[in-house]
Amino acid sequence: MDEDAILDKMKEQFLKAEEYIRGCSSVG
């Protein structure tokens, strides 16, 4: 795996986590 692919994966995970957190805080 090249560095760009790793960075893309990390960015994806980060965005998903951010969305999840935002969803939780808006509910609670």
Average pLDDT over the chain, rounded to an integer: 91
pLDDT value at 28 more than 70:
no
pLDDT at 14 over 80: yes
At residue 6, φ and ψ (nearest 5 deg) are -65, -45
Structure tokens given for 20: 């999840």
Overall size of the chain counted in residues: 28
Averaged pLDDT, 3-23: 96
Q: pTM (2 decimals)? A: 0.61
pLDDT band of 27, cuts 50, 70, 90: confident
Q: Rounded CA gap, 5 and 26, in Å? A: 32
Alpha-carbon span 19 to 17, nearest angstrom: 5
- pLDDT for position 25: 80
